Structure 1
Amino acid sequence: MHPMLRRLDDLAAHLATRPDTVALLGLGSAGTAYDRLDAHSDLDFFLVVADGAVPRYVESLDWLAAPCPVAYSFANERHGRKVLYADGIFAEYAVFTVDELARLPFTGARVVWQRPDAPAGLAECGPPPRPATPYDTVEFHLNEALTNLYVGLHRELRGERLSASRFIQSYAVDRVLALLRLTAPDVAHRRDPFDPSRRVEQAYPPEVLPLAGMVPGYRDNRAAARVTLGWLADRFPVDPVIAAAIRGLLTAPADG
């Protein structure tokens, strides 16, 4: 058994002795997709507890340390923590009541343990949230990518290189991934509905998605913008006005 799964089983055995716990759910590579577990995986889970018990299980680590001492931890939000066990297992978890869990969007959960009288369907959930924008279309993502490049290059020319890198090598690339999702929907890989960047290298070879050129690093914003613009122009009807404006910025002298 993978050490991550064993850790969850050991936690479940301890939690079963506590009267105010309801269930333990594995998520991510500790959920239904546990065949993805490898040496670089972290341990994601939800702990479901009785009403009123959430603060106690977030603030106290005694239950968490039952299988192995906790070497480092911090509360990353009011429902959960990130922790590093003494044996090197890194975990991120959140604690909810049954009612709170029912309102959460999540996918791929696996029941590691639950009380016999726990409500049915704890690991079931509705569809993940739709993208923040209602404009989930090729036209929208294409033009968002183009304007990300445009704004980013202006930031670069002003000397705001970090901001530029986010627009050019992060925001615009996110739109590229959205375009691939819409135009190549049958790619056989496990899409993450909450983080589109996960496992894209498994889905698209470099000749389809040249990430090394699109994300070359802090000092290479212009080179990155040039690659992404070329990628977009090769595959989609890029508006000539914004394309010309971007190309002009690619050759413009920086301020100062």
Structure 2
Amino acid sequence: MHPMLQRLDDLAAHLATRADTVALLGLGSAGAQRGRLDDHSDLDFFLIVEDGATTRYATATDWLAVPCPVVYSFANERHGRKALYADGIFVEYAVFTVAEVHRVPFRGARVVWRRADAPPGLTESDAPVPRPPYDTVEYHLNEALTNLYVGLHRELRGEHLSAARFIQGHAVDRVIALLRLSEGEPPYRDAFDSSRRVERTYPPQVLPLAAMVPGYRGNVAAARAILDWLGDRFPIPAPIGTAIDGLLSS
């Protein structure tokens, strides 16, 4: 068994001895898609507890340290923490009651342990995954183009970091969405982060990330690469295409 999965099992064995715990859910590569797990994965999980126990488990780490000492941790949200074990396993977790967990958007959870009287359906969220207003070629194409336009204006103003976020961040996210729509759903797609595993899904000749994400001083070159990529695959509306070309020549 992979050490991270063993760590979850060891945690589950300890939590099963506590009266105020209900279930332990593995998420991400420790969840339903364990084929994603490798030596560079972190360990994501939800701990489900009785009403009134959330704050105690979210602030204390004594229960977390039972399998191995915790050498570093901090509260990254009201319900959870990030922590590092002495053996190098990094964990990110949140603590919820049964009622609370159904209001959290998540997908792909796996029951590692549940109390015999735990309610069914703990791996199902009632909250929708955040999505853009439209998931269409027209939307993602035009979002990418306007990201380039705004980003290039910020580049010309000297706001290189903001420009990089628009050009090498937001516009590239739209490129990835266009690939998903044109080539089908990639395996192990992360519903919350489109950048995950794209290098395994799309070869450089399909998604030339080195050209699209060259770095802080490469915004103009990145915008040109993205515009060329879009133009090779989709009809670009002349007004916005001409405007972007003008900025690239400035």
Deviations along 1:127-148, one digit per CA (max 9) or x if unpaired, are: 84251x3222111111111111
- The letter for the 1-side match of 2:233 is R
For the residue of structure 2 that corresponds to 1:249, the secondary structure is helix
1:130/1:83 CA distance change after superposition, 3 Å: closer
Q: Which residue of 2 aligns with 1:28?
A: 28
The SS at the match of 2:71 is strand
Q: Matched residues in 2 for 1:165 and 1:64: separation?
A: 39
* CA deviation string 1:12-31 (max 9, x = no partner): 11111110000000001001
Check if 1:214 corresponds to 2:212: yes
C-alpha deviation, 1:121, in angstroms: 2.0
**Aligned partner of residue 61 in structure 1, secondary structure:** coil
How much has 1:3 moved relative to structure 2?
0.6
Q: Equivalent residue for 1:97? A: 97
After superposition, the C-alpha distances for 1:215-245 in whole angstroms (9 at most, x for unaligned) are 0111110000000000011111101111111
Residue 168 (str. 1) matches residue 157 (str. 2) = no
Percent identical among aligned pairs is 72
Matching residue's letter, 1:245: A
Q: Is the 8 A contact 1:29 1:43 kept in 2?
A: yes
Name the residue aligned to 1:138. 137
Matched, 1:124 2:119: no
Cα distance in structure 2, aligned partners of 1:127 and 1:39: 31
Task: Spell out the pairing of 1:57-68 with structure 2 (5 A cutoff).
Answer: 57-68=57-68
- TM-score normalised by L of structure 2: 0.97
1:151 Cα deviation after fit = 0.8
CA contact (8 A) 1:25 1:46 kept: yes
Contact 1:128/1:193 (CA < 8 Å) preserved in 2? Answer: no
Give, as a single letter, the amino acid of the residue that structure 1 aligns with 2:76: N
- Residues 234 and 82 (structure 1 numbering): CA distance in 2 closer, same or farther, change over 3 Å? same
What is the alpha-carbon distance in structure 2 between the residues aligned to residue 75 and residue 2 of structure 1?
Answer: 27
Structure 2 residue ranges without an equivalent (≥5): none
> Partner of 1:80 in structure 2?
80
Secondary structure of residue in 2 paired with 1:176: helix
Residue 225 of structure 2 aligns with an amino acid whose one-letter code is V
Q: CA RMSD, aligned part only?
A: 1.2
Contact 1:146 1:229 in 2 (8 A): yes
Structure 2 residue identity aligned to 1:200: V
Alpha-carbon offset, residue 105 of structure 1 = 2.1
Superposition TM-score, scaled by structure 1 size: 0.94
Aligned to 1:201: 199
Aligned length: 250
Q: Distance in 2 between matches of 1:20 and 1:53?
A: 7
Q: Distance in 2 between matches of 1:203 and 1:126?
A: 29
1:143-198 deviation per Cα after TM superposition (whole angstroms, max 9, x unaligned): 111111011111111111001100100000011111112222154x2111111111
